Amino acid sequence: MTSTFSQQRLTYLGSLSAELSRQGLASRMVGGDDPVLWVWHPESLRQTIVFATPAGDGWLFLWSPDGREKAGNPRGTAESLDRLLSAPDPGP
C-alpha cells in the first residue's frame, strides 16, 4: 500500500512530467516505492534525476547540479530543466 507521503511525491513528479512533455523533454518515473523522475533532452541527450522532497514550507524539486524549485511550480521547473539540458555540454 502506498503511503500518503509516497502519494504526494508521485503527484508532484507526475505534474512535473506532464510539464516536461510540453517543453519537449522526455521523462520516466523510476525507483518503485521511492520514485524519482529521470529526465532527458531528446536532442542533446543530456539528463538528470529530479527528486521531490518535503521541506519546511512545502515540497521542493531538487536536481543536479544545484537545481531547486518549489514543487508547486512544475512549469517553472520544466523551463529550468529545459535550459539546463538544452545547453551545450561544457565538457571535462
Closest to 74 measured CA to CA, from 14, 10, 9: 14
| Cα–Cα–Cα angle for 73, 62, 23, rounded to 5 degrees | 50
Averaged in consecutive runs of 10 residues, what is the pLDDT profile of the chain (92 residues)? 80 97 96 90 95 93 94 96 84 62
**Contact at 8 Å (CB) between 83 and 65?**
no
pTM attached to this predicted model:
0.89
Indicate the helix (H) or strand (E) that contains 12.
helix 4-22
The whole-angstrom separation of Cα 47 and Cα 50 is: 10
pLDDT for position 87: 76
